[in-house]
Amino acid sequence: MKIAIGCDHGGYELKEQLRRYLSNNGHEVVDCGTYSVESVHYPVFAKMVAKKVQRGDVERGIVVCTTGEGVAIAANRYKGVRCGIAYNDEVARLMRAHNDANVISFGARFTSLEDAIRRVELFLNTNFEGGRHQIRVEMLDED
Ligand code: RB5
């Protein structure tokens, strides 16, 4: 799958680990930065990931900051982007099944690599259920 990934300084280490994991497992990863632990502004990197998802350049996005909150808030400002914070495994599955999430967010300070990998796999491998959830997802893009 083609996946965009981005982070701020707080998410850099986890982003790098996830990027390597995904590349080693056959995915095409578009790395939107940041590329070091030097302090940066998270909206810049969340926007790069969100715009790639919005344009259909990639199928899914991953954003990481210290808490997972800033990058999720930023990503969700772009129409057509649905970003959920994966605070446990079941939520990572449900954000796909019920919300058709196309971006997943992690708080690096609160998420081990093992947990993040399991949740990314759930995010990538769970289908949207549609049905009663379809109209709700469509409503998200109404003005
Ligand atoms: C950076 O210190 C921190 O504020 C940022 O990584 C993020 O968690 C913001 O939401």
Bridge partner list, 65:
107
Give the pair of three-digit tokens for residue 64.
Answer: 């990481």
**How many residues are recorded in the chain?**
143
Spatial distance between the Cα atoms of 47 and 119, rounded to a whole number of angstroms: 22
2-7 and 28-31 as β-strands: parallel, antiparallel, unpaired? parallel
27 catalytically annotated: no
Spatial distance between the Cα atoms of 49 and 58, rounded to a whole number of angstroms: 9
**Mean pLDDT over the full length of the chain:** 98
Question: Which of 7, 32, 83, 98 is flagged as catalytic?
Answer: 98
Q: Which amino acid is at 15?
A: K
Mutating to test ligand 1, I would choose from 65, 76, 85, 87 the residue with most ligand atoms within 8 A of its C-beta, which is: 65
What integer pLDDT is reported at residue 2 of this predicted model? 98
- Cβ neighbours of residue 41 closer than 8 Å, sequence gap 6 or more: 8
Q: Whose CA is nearest to atom 9 of ligand 1?
A: 70
Spatial distance between the Cα atoms of 33 and 45, rounded to a whole number of angstroms: 7
83 catalytically annotated: no
Predicted confidence (pLDDT) per residue in 39-94, tens digit: 999 999 999 999 999 999 999 999 999 999 999 999 999 999 999 999 999 999 99
Spatial distance between the Cα atoms of 54 and 58, rounded to a whole number of angstroms: 8
What integer pLDDT is reported at residue 83 of this predicted model? 99
Q: Is 26 helix (H, G, I), strand (E, B) or coil?
A: coil
